[in-house]
Each structure stands twice: as structure tokens, then as C-alpha cells.
């Protein structure tokens, strides 16, 4: 079980990053069914073309879920208090996503340690797809 100790957390430190396998059509199809987000723009190339795209695009929430994986493999889910993402660029089939996080603040609030994190997801060329942040409370 992952336990984290406040003594081990310092401002500027990085979370263990996560490098995902390339996004495939299969990844998107499985996520479509499992997430309940059946917007055809993610799985139906004909639909995507009708709306001016060259191909289907990944669900932003799929990429955000990778950030979530990184977060809760570092701190248990019950410690997570807030989590947000801005979806800056579309993620395409074939993209290799890397998610990273770092500690930007560490504050004692009402006798509990609150840790603020900056998060990002980039593709293989370094383009930032998602930028976000999260707060955890050590309990």
C-alpha cells in the first residue's frame, strides 16, 4: 500500500512519471465503451470528417485518467481533495503520452498537511496536451 510521509515531500520534487503506450483506435474504442462517453468523434472517422477533422481524436478524459493514475499511485485516492485539467491540444491516434507532476506547495492547514501539485501531459514531440493541478491532504 502506498503511504507517503510529509518528511519525504519537498517543494519542487517530481512524482514518478508515467509513459503510456501509443494511443490506438483500440484504446479509444475500449475507453468509449468503458467510460460511457459515446461521442462518435472519438471512434467514428466518418463522423469526425463530417466535422472537419482528419481523424478521430482521443477523449480528453482518457488523458486526464492517466494523470489520475499517476496521482493515486503516489498518494492514496482518499487523500485527493481536488483535481483539474485544461485540455489544451487534441490528442491523436499514435500519440505517446507522458504524464508528469511536481510539488509546488506544502502548507500546514488546520493541523493537516496540504500538498499542491502541478500536472501535465505531453506527447512524443513535447507538445503539452493537458495542463492541470491537484491538491492532496495528508491523513
Partner 1 sequence: MSENKDFRDELVGYKSPTFEVEVEKGRLRQFCHAIGESASIYNNEVEAKRAGYRSIPVPPTFLFCLEMERDDPYDWFKELSIPLGNILHGEQSFKYHDIVCVGDRIRFSGEVVDAYDKKGGALHFIVHRNFVFFDTGVLAAEFDRTIVVQSRE
Binding mask 38-67 for partner 1 (x = CB under 8 A): xxxx-----xx-xx-------xxxx-xxx-
Q: Which is nearer to partner 1, 12 or 26 (CB)?
A: 26
Taking CB under 8 A as the criterion, the residue among 5, 7, 16, 34 binding partner 1 is 34
Q: Which is nearer to partner 1, 2 or 10 (CB)?
A: 2
What is the spatial distance between Cα 97 and Cα 87, in angstroms, rounded to a whole number?
Answer: 14
What is the spatial distance between Cα 55 and Cα 45, in angstroms, rounded to a whole number?
Answer: 5
- Do the beta carbons of residue 22 and residue 95 sit within 8 Å? yes
| By CB under 8 A, residue 68 contacts partner 1 | yes
- Do the beta carbons of residue 133 and residue 71 sit within 8 Å? no
> What single string gives the DSSP state of each residue in 28-66?
HHHHHHHH----GGGT-HHHHHHTT-SS-B--HHHHHHH
User: How many H-runs (helices) and E-runs (strands) does the chain carry?
Assistant: 3, 5
Interacting residues with partner 1 between 77 and 116 (CB under 8 A): 77-78, 80-87, 90
Q: Which is nearer to partner 1, 10 or 46 (CB)?
A: 46
| By CB under 8 A, residue 71 contacts partner 1 | yes
What is the binding site for partner 1 (CB under 8 A)? 1, 20-21, 27, 30-31, 33-41, 47-48, 50-51, 59-62, 64-66, 68-69, 71-73, 76-78, 80-87, 90
Amino acid at each position: 500500500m502506498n503511504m507517503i510521509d510529509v518528511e519525504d515531500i519537498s517543494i519542487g520534487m517530481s512524482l514518478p512519471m508515467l509513459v503510456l503506450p501509443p494511443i490506438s483506435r483500440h484504446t479509444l474504442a475500449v475507453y468509449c465503451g468503458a467510460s460511457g462517453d459515446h461521442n462518435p468523434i472519438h471512434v467514428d472517422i466518418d463522423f469526425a470528417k463530417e466535422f472537419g477533422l482528419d481523424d478521430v481524436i482521443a477523449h480528453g478524459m482518457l488523458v486526464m485518467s492517466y494523470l489520475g493514475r499517476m496521482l493515486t499511485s503516489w498518494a492514496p485516492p482518499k487523500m485527493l481533495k481536488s483535481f483539474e485539467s485544461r485540455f489544451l491540444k487534441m490528442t491523436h491516434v499514435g500519440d505517446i503520452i507522458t504524464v508528469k507532476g511536481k510539488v509546488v506547495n506544502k502548507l500546514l492547514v488546520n493541523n493537516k498537511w496540504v500538498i499542491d501539485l502541478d500536472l501535465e501531459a505531453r506527447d512524443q514531440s513535447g507538445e503539452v496536451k493537458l495542463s492541470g493541478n491537484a491538491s492532496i491532504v495528508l491523513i
